[in-house]
Amino acid sequence: MKKLFGIILLSIIVLQANVVPAQDKLLTLDDINYRNRDLFPDRIPQLQWIGDSDEYAFAKENAIYKVRAKKGTETLLFDLDMINKGMNINGFDSLNRLPNVSFRDDKTCLFKSGNTYYLYDFNAYDLKKINSIPDTAENVQFNKETGFAAYTVDNNLYYVIEGKVKQITFDDDPGIVNGQTVHRNEFGISKGIFWSPTGAKIAFYHKDETMVTDYPLVNLDTRIAELAPTKYPMAGEKSEEVTLGVYDLASGNTVFMKTGEPKEQYLTSVSWGPDGKYVYIALLNRDQNHLKLTQYDVATGNFVKTLFEESNPKYVEPENPMYFNPEEKDQFIWVSEKDGYNHLYLYNTNGELIKQVTKGNWVVTDFLGFFGGRKVYFLGTKESPLQNNVYAVDLKTFEINLISPDHGTHGAQVSSNGKYILDYFSSTDVSREYKLLNHKGEVIRVLQENRDPLKDYNLGEMSIFTLKSENGDDLYCRMIKPVDFDSAKKYPVFIYVYGGPHAQLISDSWLGGAQLFLYYMAQKGFVVFTLDNHGTANRGRDFEQSVFRNLGTLEVRDQMVGVDYLKTLPYVDPDRLGVNGWSYGGFMTISMMLKNPGVFKVGVAGGPVIDWQYYEIMYGERYMDTPQDNPEGYKNACLLNYVDDLQGKLMIIHGTNDPTVVWQNSLQFLKKAIEANKQMDYFVYPGHGHNVRGVDRSHMYEKIANYFNENL
């Protein structure tokens, strides 16, 4: 038994409302599968600023209202009937409900109905059809300034102007893909089409994956099952080759940027320069430890210069584009964790660092923009790793000011001049609340007060606290006690785990960041426990990189700190501990059971990584390097090597068409367990991908809950 390291309980946060005697309702599995919308926090639909004005808009009862920020005067802007009047005048089909609108300026907004885009002048009550896309269009990028739309059909790129379609690429080989995301959506990549500032050009990813292995997924819905392969570049194997093309709408010509050798590199952070003459690309080597921010002339594709380089012996992970200052167009913000924490840096286009804008042992989580040329707004964790607050920093004095007045997890929209902020947040005691703030963070008015959607439900008491890791770092924990908790009783424990990079399960947000399913398990009589171990997000580079090349080792030791703590609690039955997780959490679930045999009586692992050599290059090699370069790390992390140590009841759940953690992972584990004469349970969801969606999700929740109820 490991020695329990120093335990420091900090910031105990309790949902006081959970002890009100009148609360007697209980959650059902259909409730938590988003079928009962009344159980989720209220939202203000379509809340947004209107162009460059100090007026904001929101939707209510099939109408859009506008409000003056300073005075709070609320007036009708337009409603569904007014839009339909314009639709009917122009011979268009009427709408059944208010569409989602996006304001182009102070007088007009855009909306889409079906495949058609409309421009509505709400001052002149004039409606125009401006464009339409075909039914087969995917990956659509609409330019709201011009009304043009670029999109893909199959593997080729198109654009459309006023309903007239132009084809940009003509690749017959399905292994050549244009205009789609690349590098399996890592490095912050969320699209493959990038309009230039004026809409005159389109930059797009061109991906050659002909050399990447076809991985066999199967379509089970046909009379005879059909092969539906996907390109899946496994760690250590051949990777895709990506370039960036720029298409000129006027000339009809495409020029490819000369990004050079080696071809197996990552093209990230694609950014247009403000004048549309240059495009910038962050080139990251396959080892992911050396980045170069490079500039290209879009007219010729020629390399212009390298602005700067970043390197790290473990990895560099760019996740943001360049953010250009609209007032000083040769200056931009670059987001980097090169000093150990994710921060903002102000550069010029010569590659000269003007100033590190933010610094400290905390992270910037989102860049909200430049306002007035000299002020930047952002979200960050300066107050606490559990919180996400709104901040402003002056680019002259570099003084950082906290804007959001309430503890919790915030989002924000800032008016174009930076004077007003639409602030929305949740916390451990607020489900969701909206406020209008001024630039000093003073509350002008509350737009929507908090409403507890679970006030009539009997929930377990939730608390957040810290434990100390082996090296003395704080590990944040969340505990939900059983409903009608009795300290004289002994309870089983349901440990919910993820444990991988880019995730933070515990936060100062509604329900402490926990899913309703965890409160459901507390209603079933379990102590529900979660711990964010080393490797998880928003704690700085070193905290995350500490698991590098040896996944499943330090994370498991951290989780066992939590287990050792649980065993000290008089109301915990140490012989009835269970663990559950999905994806990286599935890997962690099985790792915890196998590396600590006999400690856990029950485990349920969903979509688990079993052997990291079966995982894809971009994510896998970042944290593990290649199997060729790190054979010992892959051996230590491979769960097939520990099957003989399996004790207790284990069930693995997997979707048969999982394109992320391929089915081969869990099938290999099942095969190994059979060979070792180890009994386990196995359940598949036919046709589902990396998670179980839709109505089948309730079935999955029930299966997990029943497994713990029956065995723990």
Residues annotated catalytic, as ranges:
583, 658, 690
**Length of the chain (residues):** 712
Tokens of 250: 């006027």
DSSP letter at 100? P
Return the amino acid letter for 431. S
Q: Which helix (H) or strand (E) holds 202?
A: strand 201-208
Q: How far is CA 367 from the centre of its chain?
A: 15
> How far, in Å, CA of 638 to CA of 652, rounded?
16
CA-to-CA dists, residue 12 to 18, 157, 401, 407, angstroms: 15, 54, 27, 14
**Do 93 and 99 touch, CB atoms closer than 8 A?**
no
| Other Cβ atoms closer than 10 A to 39 | 17
CA-to-CA dists, residue 194 to 276, 435, 487, angstroms: 11, 33, 59
Task: List residues bridging with 605 in a β-sheet.
Answer: 581, 652
**Do 296 and 279 touch, CB atoms closer than 8 A?**
yes
Q: How far is CA 110 from the centre of its chain?
A: 27
**Do 560 and 596 touch, CB atoms closer than 8 A?**
yes
> How far, in Å, CA of 427 to CA of 431, rounded?
7
Sign of the C-alpha dihedral computed for residues 399, 405, 408 and 409 taken in this order: negative
Sign of the C-alpha dihedral computed for residues 358, 465, 545 and 514 taken in this order: negative
Q: Which helix (H) or strand (E) holds 523?
A: helix 516-523
Q: Which helix (H) or strand (E) holds 675?
A: helix 664-675
> How far, in Å, CA of 398 to CA of 136, rounded?
49
DSSP letter at 518? H
CA-to-CA dists, residue 390 to 320, 323, 544, 569, angstroms: 18, 18, 24, 38
> How far, in Å, CA of 67 to CA of 57, rounded?
6
Q: Which residue has the tokens 């093209």?
A: 267
300-304 long-range contacts, CB within 8 A, separation 24+: 300/255, 301/246, 301/255, 301/256, 301/257, 301/258, 302/258, 303/257, 303/258, 303/259, 303/260, 304/278
Residue 58 DSSP SS3: strand
Please work out, in degrees rounded to the nearest 5, the angle formed at the alpha carbon of residue 595 by the alpha carbons of 592 and 598.
85
Strands of 234-341 (E only): list them.
241-248, 254-256, 265-272, 278-285, 290-297, 303-311, 323-324, 331-336
Please work out, in degrees rounded to the nearest 5, the angle formed at the alpha carbon of residue 535 by the alpha carbons of 529 and 537.
80
> How far, in Å, CA of 609 to CA of 500, rounded?
11
